[in-house]
Structure 1
């Protein structure tokens, strides 16, 4: 009888807590019918290098990267302010996407900004994936008048040095398009 009382009591507590959050989704939870955008990544010579996807989630955007045929190692990856990827250096993508005016990096006490995504690790076969949710980011801001791009850098992002984490040159780029 005691076990039933404890279980019933815990169940009642869980229902009460669930009722408090009814209708509210935790940041990052999937949103039914949420918009998405895809950036097809290419290297400077035009070779396919995978894709980056932005998906609306509760309270922000979820960025997912599936890279292929890139050099093995750790690479900084970022959302950039302009939807252009002119080879060979992809400088036309502009700086990192930073609509909130923060500093670069999750380890920077004045950061991070919306363009910061964790490092992408490429294995010996040239493949790698990474995903992150950016709270407060919106599809409307990402796909504004001049668009946005996703860039893979040559080296790792140190996650703190403004403006780019010392991640080196740009080796792949793709422009986000609504999907």
Structure 2
């Protein structure tokens, strides 16, 4: 009788250990699924970061970051070396900052052939008409701009900012003068390149 009890106890122990092993194997694929979901979510975020270099004998430099998340692009630009006061910032047509005056970038990025104006104006505006920002007494300026009318590397030529440039101007965009807002010299430039 003792032999039978020992055999049954050993069998139950074996079954118990086997079942625990199966539960561990089942848990492993679940953890892998969680990791895949996190990766998929991260792929929806696109980012481009680049430096701004001085143009037109200025000392204006800085950094720009574009982040696209769920169809919204946020631009954050930090600049230094500016004269205190208001300055214009635009997206220009070409990511070519090779000329000393920044004019190698061409005119404002305007893929929908609209007149220059204030962003969102019913009378029209360029997709590159970001607007004005303030530089403080030390010559530092910051601007954050957000829109669903841009994208980073998509197939829509009327929204894709890759291959364009950021230009910071010496003066203020009056938001009406054609075709550029009479914002003055191009004092800093950076190509939007992935």
TM-score, normalized by the shorter chain, greater than 0.5: yes
Deviations 1:119-178 (A, max 9, x none): 1211111101011113321112211xxx11100011001122221111111011111232
Aligned pairs (5 A) from 1:50-65: 50-65=62-77
Partner of 1:169: 185
Bigger relative contact order (CA 8 A; separation at least 6): 1
Compared CA separation, residues 46 and 155, structure 1 to 2 (3 A): closer
Partner of 2:129: 116
Q: Does the aligned pair in 2 maintain the 1:39–1:175 contact within 8 Å?
A: yes
What TM-score does the superposition give when structure 2 sets the normalisation length? 0.67
Report which of the two structures shows the higher radius of gyration computed on alpha carbons.
2
Name structure 2 gaps, 5 residues minimum: 1-40, 154-159
Compared CA separation, residues 39 and 94, structure 1 to 2 (3 A): farther
Structure-1 separation of matches of 2:83 and 2:70: 34
Aligned pairs (5 A) from 1:79-118: 79-106=91-118, 108-118=121-131
Structure-2 separation of matches of 1:109 and 1:92: 30
Aligned length in residues? 145
Compared CA separation, residues 62 and 162, structure 1 to 2 (3 A): farther
The structure with the greater share of residues assigned to helix is 2
The structure with the greater share of residues assigned to strand is 1
CA displacement at 1:47 relative to structure 2: 5.2
Name structure 1 gaps, 5 residues minimum: 1-30
Q: Does the aligned pair in 2 maintain the 1:118–1:130 contact within 8 Å?
A: no
Partner of 1:142: 161
CA displacement at 1:46 relative to structure 2: 8.5
Structure-1 separation of matches of 2:116 and 2:94: 17
Q: Does the aligned pair in 2 maintain the 1:39–1:150 contact within 8 Å?
A: no
